[in-house]
Structure 1
Amino acid sequence: MAKVYLGLGSNIGDKEQNLKQAIKLLQEHKQIKLMKKSSIYVTDPVGYTDQDVFYNQVIEVESDLEPYDLLAYVNEVEEILKRKRLIRWGPRTIDIDILLYDEYISQDEKLTIPHPRMTERAFVMVPLFELTQDVKINGKDIKVIYEAIDKNGAKKKV
């Protein structure tokens, strides 16, 4: 089974409940097993900033789904939770990104792993670093990336 890290975010409605519901739906798939989940972080929006704050979380799962099959299921979960793609980086009930999938690398219009902007974003790197300090992203140790990133935009939800 592959070790996979998924990034989750929500800034519409009951944000915490949206994250919980997404995790529950992911766990309902017989080929996805939840291993760990980070704390929830309150983060400022990136890109399109005229919107509510996000709740973000990273989870570690094990899965024997192939990456594109996992992507299809992740998209299905987003659809169930009424994800609308109206504005790039805009508000959403749920966003689920495949951040890392073992050592798998993909770069095409449908799926890019490692996630292309993850190393620039505190809302990904802070919760990911909470879960693991033993991964490399594009050949770079996560500790090096974590130490270099501005972490001010990600505050742990109490």
Structure 2
Amino acid sequence: MTPIPKPNVRMTPSASLGPGPSHPLAAAQPAEGSQIDLPGAREGRFVTPHPGVEVVLALGSNLGDRAGTVHAAVRALGDIDGFELTAVSPLVESAAVKPDGVDPDAPAYLNAVITGRYSGDPHTLLAAVNRVEADHGRERAERWGDRTLDIDIIAFGDQQLRDETLTIPHPRAAERDFVLAPWLAIDPDAVLPGGARVADALAAIGNNVVPFSAEPSSAEPPSAEPSSGAGR
């Protein structure tokens, strides 16, 4: 996998090189293909001097080359004007969630969470995120339908916003283990907007995500098919 070209990202001396002992991915070593590489550093907590607001983005894909799509999307997000990538989670796998609940017959998702600092406004970031989705074949034909790529803005600093295109913080983040578990993997002290600890929220709902294995899965289709605010 080609490394993500973010030359200014560096690791703090005290940063974890992987999941800490208390978070839900600690029991398993990262599988081959599960990590999104940054040159000169590994997964964990990253910091870089950059103005702007701290943002949390969640990525998911359940069609086509899921891992390749998520890797490429992280690179594209890192190239957004005014955005500086600060941390990338391991990839995890989760069951598809539809309006009526978990759909075991749908292709499984690969998920990741990234954090960064952004110097623009929420709607400008949303427009940039939607362009990345469109560049990877995202179509909005069905609510919570299968998709090549889904990117949600989970948090934008302490801002609260609700309009016809965007709700911040994400209204279902605290109910989604595929958001909370990878977020906790890069920040064991993470806090949801409003003050609840991510670790406590995950403990309350239970964690059913699993570390991603690069081995082929029967749930994964052999080829990509086309399929904002708040996604699933």
* Residue 26 of structure 1: how far off its partner (Å): 1.1
* 1:100-111 map, 5 Å: 100-111=155-166
> In structure 2, what residue type is equivalent to 1:155?
V
Q: Confirm or deny that 1:126 pairs with 2:177.
A: no
How many Å apart are 1:57 and its aligned residue? Answer: 0.3
Structure 1 Cα separation of the partners of residues 145 and 133 of structure 2: 14
Post-superposition offset of 1:65: 1.5
Residue 27 of structure 1: aligned partner: 78
Residue pair 2:158, 2:193 contacting (<8 A) in 1 also: no
2:84 touches 2:118 (CA, 8 Å); kept in 1?
A: yes
Aligned equivalents of 1:137, 1:25: Cα separation in 2: 26
Q: Which amino acid letter does the alignment assign opposite residue 109 of structure 1?
A: E
Measured after TM superposition, the shift of residue 89 of structure 1 is: 1.1
Aligned residues: CA RMSD:
1.3
Structure 2 residue matching 1:30: 3-state secondary structure: coil
**Counterparts of 1:130 and 1:146, CA distance in 2:** 12
Q: TM-score, normalised by structure 1?
A: 0.94
1:141 to 169, 179, 197: 197
Question: Following the alignment from structure 2 to structure 1, what is the Cα–Cα distance between the partners of residues 157 and 199?
Answer: 18
Per residue, is there more helix in 1 or in 2? Answer: 1
Q: Which runs of 4+ in 1 moved over 4 A?
A: none
Would the aligned equivalents of 1:5 and 1:60 in 2 still touch at CA under 8 Å? yes
Alignment partners' CA distance in 2, 1:150 and 1:86: 31
Q: Which amino acid aligns with 1:66?
A: D
Report the secondary structure of 1:25's partner residue.
Answer: helix
**Amino-acid identity (%):** 35
Larger radius of gyration: 2
Distance in 2 (alpha carbons) for counterparts of 1:82 and 1:76: 10
Q: Secondary structure at the match of 1:145?
A: helix
1:43 — aligned with what? 94
**Which ranges of structure 1 fall in alignment gaps of 5 or more residues?**
none
The runs of 5 or more residues in structure 2 that have no matched partner are 1-51, 214-232
| More strand, by proportion | 1
3-state SS, counterpart of residue 86 of structure 2? strand
Matching residue's letter, 1:14:
D
Match of 2:207 in 1: 151
Q: What code does the residue aligned with 1:123 have?
A: F
Q: Is the 8 A contact 1:51 1:90 kept in 2?
A: no
1:75 counterpart SS class: helix
The one-letter code of the counterpart of 2:97 is: V
